[in-house]
Amino acid sequence: MSSAELPDPPQSGGCAYVDGRKSKSGHLAAVPIGSMKLFRLFFLVSAFVLPQASFSAQPNLIWIMADDLGYADLGCYGQKVITTPNLDRMAKEGLRFTHFYAGATVCAPSRSVLMTGLHHGHTRIRGNAGKTNPAAQALKAGDVTVADVLKKAGYQTALIGKWGLGNVGEAESGLPRKHGFDYFYGYLSQHHAHNHFPDYLWRNETKEPLSNVIVPVGEDGAGYATEAVHYADDLFADDALKFVSENKTRPFFLYWAMVIPHANNERARELGDGAHVPDYGPYADKDWPKQDKGQAAMITRLDSYVGRMMEHLKSLGLAENTLVIFSSDNGPHNESKHNLERFDPNGPYTGIKRSLTDGGIRVPFIAWWPGKVKPGESDHVGYFPDFMPTAAELAGAPAPEATDGLSLVPVLTGKTDAQKKHEFLYWEFHEGGFKQAALYQGRWKGIRMGGPDAPVQLFDQQNDVAEETNVAGQHPDIAAKIGDYLKTARSPLPDWEPQWKTGGKKARK
């Protein structure tokens, strides 16, 4: 940088502050008002002596996670029936990614991938273990999360909503505050989180009772309410806004993990309707089954929460120093017993939650940061491990050496030519027989089931987004390359050893 490119010093009483930022010691770095040359000399020398991070305020980071929201459940991704005006506005004002993937096709491993920056074959939690082996669904001491990295960088960190990576008892090694979060409010167990009207929530490690009256079903506080007063996601939205207000003067990381539009599986089995909401909102007068009204109402309600946060950030003057990311943990579900055909939540893609075709893993991904992220659309191919190095770079902190992610900072800041690309993306699935999938060069999807030496089904996503035609015979070299990668993609982990099952059919829409 030449002296001609340096900014003029701000005039403020008897001192000039370098960019108004705090130094690492926490004090404002000041120089006396003097000649322009003296200031420029100081600035030029400082640029070489001081860390670059001292000249850039650490941005606030908010990751908003929907639960079981499909790629095409939002208007900005093609939804025609359900209204999502706030997320559509977020996409218009921000960067909408069209080729982005969750960490897994079900809840717990997807969240583990997000938190650790390690793909599905390397992260600690690789499936939904349930009550048979709860310790297998808990982070352990030594697992480094994005919250750990940001907390060390000086961020105030909070998780509000659904965790699923640790619980009291056998799984307490994974409690949120043992993994970088200063504050937690919500559900520890994903089974408990099925009930949108629970009779308690956790605040840090303390149970807080709620006045909902429930019928217990299953494990970990699951069930359904007969007297429904407090809707958990309403409470989470209020708490998320409160956290932002209380931390507006220091950098913060908020992981806001909503429960909607996940079904109450137990209520669906018992009462035939898993879409439990306070009201049906704009869909109350629709000539639809109640399950469809509830599903649509959950998504529109979710949208309203996002709108509240965007306006809250603007009102506090934080919007231009806050990166907000919105996504979903996996593809859409049908467990509320609603009509998938009415909403077409996976759009042009095949499969839903629990599928390794794109309908189960391709998700909406919107980045909103007024003045920093230029509005538009990106077809960059990314996935959840990318958040770890992205957050670390923005915070001016070192990312863990072990990561499967690539920082998205270049594409977010418009420097697309500098954006690194993945050669492979990887997923696996343990329910109903082990399966693997990889995306090669952003185009070729390979899926293996039936055994480690079973042939790879190959789909050319460039010409077949629905993954309907197996082209392994036409491209045997590519199928072989993906097959070789799948044999080495995962690290062994006793709790999650492959249990192959012969046969099986590819998931369909």
**One domain, residues 247 and 288:** yes
101 neighbors 361 (Cβ within 8 angstroms): yes
Q: Is residue 303 part of a domain?
A: yes
Condensed to tens digits (0 to 9), the pLDDT of residues 233-292 reads 999 999 999 999 999 999 999 999 999 999 999 999 999 999 999 999 999 999 999 999
**Closest C-alpha among 391, 291, 390, 276 to residue 341:** 291
Contacts 24+ apart (CB under 8 A), 461-464: 461/358
Token pair belonging to 388: 């770890």
136 neighbors 143 (Cβ within 8 angstroms): no
**What CATH number is given to the structural domain containing 94?**
3.40.720.10
Kindly give the parts of the chain with pLDDT less than 70. Answer: 1-56, 503-509
Q: How many residues does the chain have?
A: 509
**One domain, residues 228 and 282:** yes
**One domain, residues 35 and 119:** no
- For every residue of 330-397, DSSP letters joined together read SS---TT---HHHH-TTTTS---TT-SSHHHHB--EEEE-TTTSPSEEE---EEGGGHHHHHHHHHT-
Q: Is the peptide bond before 9 cis (omega within 30 degrees of 0)?
A: no
pTM summary value: 0.88
Q: Is residue 405 part of a domain?
A: yes
- Please tell me the number of Cα atoms within 13 Å of 488 on its side-chain side: 6
* Chain centroid, CA 335 distance in Å: 21
pLDDT at 262: 98
Token pair belonging to 3: 């002296």
Please tell me what DSSP assigns to residue 84. Answer: -
CA-CA distance, 17 to 11, in Å (whole number)? 9
**One domain, residues 391 and 285:** yes
**Closest C-alpha among 353, 360, 336, 313 to residue 264:** 336
**One domain, residues 368 and 383:** yes
Q: Is residue 362 part of a domain?
A: yes
**One domain, residues 412 and 448:** no
Distances (CA, A) of 41 to 14, 49, 239: 19, 12, 47
Q: Is residue 501 part of a domain?
A: no
**One domain, residues 430 and 413:** no
**One domain, residues 117 and 42:** no
pLDDT at 56: 55
CA-CA distance, 119 to 425, in Å (whole number)? 8
Sheet holding 95-97, edge to edge: 206-209, 200-203, 183-187, 156-162, 252-257, 60-66, 322-328, 365-368, 95-97, 376-378
Beta 365-368 vs 95-97: how paired, if at all?
antiparallel
CA-CA distance, 247 to 253, in Å (whole number)? 10
Q: Is residue 505 part of a domain?
A: no
**One domain, residues 108 and 148:** yes
**One domain, residues 28 and 96:** no
Q: Which of 381, 402, 418 is the last residue of a domain?
A: 418
Report how many domains make up the chain. Answer: 3
Q: Which of 34, 55, 76 is the last residue of a domain?
A: 55
pLDDT at 57: 86
316 neighbors 236 (Cβ within 8 angstroms): no
Q: Which of 376, 395, 418 is the last residue of a domain?
A: 418
Q: Is residue 506 part of a domain?
A: no
**One domain, residues 466 and 483:** yes
CA-CA distance, 90 to 276, in Å (whole number)? 26
pLDDT at 503: 56
**What CATH number is given to the structural domain containing 439?**
3.30.1120.10
**One domain, residues 46 and 152:** no
Which residues span the domain enclosing 250?
60-418
